[in-house]
């Protein structure tokens, strides 16, 4: 069921339109990431869902009820901010029980719930310690425990992991996802990190300039991007301008046999580096010269010039030990791996 519905939501700050007519449905129990470059409106959208900003236009519904006028503290949601906003003068236990106390819970009930929550975020027994005695990752867990204290219907997080180092960040991504799956709570996370969004979510919402470019499962958005923007934003993409010909789509570097397009008209296509096949002979449909190679550990990244296009391909290690900068090679661009965008950029 679609528990949260945004209907044509717009937010303007004077002349700036931060969110521009966004409609989306979030099903109960799903993990959704709002993803996009800085300034695209992610935080503004999350804050409107939380009740911390009023939409200029549009409607927000929770379980079918309009909540535009419901104040933040009555929306039954838990929120984790980028800054965490923990109270440094309160103990860990007091931080976590703060929202419970505001709701009038007894001291004994608070103590039981704090122990439960600390077990859940894998920090048992630290309730009497000071916030200042915790590492970044541990503070993160306390902020999560506090947000979940009131068993919210909706769990909202704004760049929750951005202050953590890369390794801890990956570990916390797994923990956060496991916690969400265990609780089955509808969760919306704002991030500008596409790897984070791809690895955690059921659905990603790719945003640009206050609008939704695509809402889809991570794999669908990666394999079938709705626009060149999505293709480029989610990992690496080769965007190539082609035109229809008898030998398949053609560009300055050669042909893509099997990719049939109307003859003459120009179109943009996208293909992922790992889908391009590099072979050491020169007889293939696309001729290219290697201009740069770098070892990435589990793959080799090869930069090639094919006609007027710069193309990036990924190959397994050791398979190309005879390839060097300056070598001429052939590329195969499998037609089934190409996403064709219309003349206006839409797929």
CB of 192 to ligand ATP, least distance (A): 5
Looking at the Cβ atoms of 12 and 303, the one nearer to ligand ATP is 12
The owner of tokens 């190959």 is 315
Min separation Cβ 52 and ligand ATP, Å: 11
Contact 75, 51 (CB under 8 A): yes
DSSP lists the bridge partners of residue 249 as: 256
Report in angstroms how near the CB of residue 122 gets to ligand ATP at its nearest.
Answer: 29
d(CA 198, CA 34): 11
Three-state DSSP class for residue 191: strand
Closer to ligand ATP at the Cβ: 13 or 292?
A: 13
Footprint on this chain of ligand ATP (rule: CB under 6 A) = 13, 16, 18, 36, 38-44, 192
Looking at 4-162, list the stretches that DSSP marks H as alpha helix, in order from N- to C-terminal side.
42-50, 92-102, 107-120, 136-148
Choose between 41 and 254: whose C-beta lies nearer to ligand ATP. 41
Looking at the Cβ atoms of 42 and 75, the one nearer to ligand ATP is 42
Strands across the sheet containing 77-80: 77-80, 154-158, 186-191, 31-35, 203-208, 211-216
User: Closer to ligand ATP at the Cβ: 38 or 132?
Assistant: 38
CA dist., res. 249 & res. 232, Å (int)? 21
Q: Is the Cβ of residue 39 or residue 307 nearer to ligand ATP in the bound state?
A: 39
Task: Give the whole-angstrom CA distance, residue 290 versus residue 310.
Answer: 10
Least CB distance from residue 163 to ligand ATP, whole Å? 13
Considering the complex, what minimum distance in angstroms separates the CB of residue 13 from ligand ATP? Answer: 3
> Least distance (Å) from ligand ATP to the CB of residue 45?
7
For residue 155, give Cα distances in angstroms to 10, 12, 201, 248. Answer: 22, 25, 13, 49
Tally Cβ neighbours within 10 Å of residue 266.
11
Query: Which C-beta is closer to ligand ATP: that of 97 or that of 173?
Result: 173
> Min. distance of Cβ 78 from ligand ATP in angstroms?
19
Q: Rounded distance, CA 4 to CA 25, Å?
A: 6
| 222: enclosing H helix or E strand | helix 218-223
């Amino acid at each position: 069921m679609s528990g949260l519905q945004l209907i044509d939501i717009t937010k303007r700050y004077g002349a700036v339109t931060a969110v521009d007519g966004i409609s989306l449905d979030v099903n109960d129990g799903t993990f959704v990431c709002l993803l996009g470059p800085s300034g695209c409106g992610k935080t503004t959208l999350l804050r409107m869902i939380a009740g911390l900003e009023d939409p200029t236009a549009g409607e927000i519904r929770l379980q079918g009820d309009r909540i535009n006028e419901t104040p933040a503290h009555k929306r039954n949601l838990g929120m984790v901010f980028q800054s965490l906003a923990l109270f440094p003068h309160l103990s860990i236990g007091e931080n976590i029980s703060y929202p419970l106390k505001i709701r009038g819970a007894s001291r004994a009930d608070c103590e039981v719930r704090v122990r439960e929550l600390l077990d859940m975020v894998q920090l048992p027994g630290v309730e009497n310690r000071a916030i200042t005695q915790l590492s970044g990752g541990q503070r993160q867990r306390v902020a999560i425990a506090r947000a979940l204290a009131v068993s919210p219907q909706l769990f909202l997080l704004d760049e929750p992991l951005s202050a953590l180092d890369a390794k801890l960040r990956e570990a916390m991504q797994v923990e956060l996802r496991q916690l969400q799956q265990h609780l089955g709570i509808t969760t919306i996370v704002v991030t500008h990190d596409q790897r984070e969004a791809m690895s955690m979510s059921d659905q990603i919402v790719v945003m640009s300039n206050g609008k939704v470019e695509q809402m889809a499962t991570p794999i669908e958005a990666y394999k079938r991007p709705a626009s060149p923007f999505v293709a480029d934003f989610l990992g690496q993409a080769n965007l190539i301008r082609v035109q229809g010909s008898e030998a398949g789509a053609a560009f300055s570097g050669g042909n893509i046999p099997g990719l049939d397009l109307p003859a003459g008209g120009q179109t943009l296509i996208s293909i992922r580096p790992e889908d391009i096949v590099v072979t050491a002979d020169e007889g293939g449909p696309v001729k290219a010269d290697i201009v740069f190679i770098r070892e990435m550990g589990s793959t080799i990244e090869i930069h090639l010039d094919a006609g007027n296009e710069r193309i990036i391909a990924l190959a397994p290690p050791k398979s190309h030990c005879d390839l060097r900068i300056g070598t001429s090679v052939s590329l195969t661009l499998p037609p089934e791996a190409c996403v064709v965008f219309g003349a206006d950029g839409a797929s």
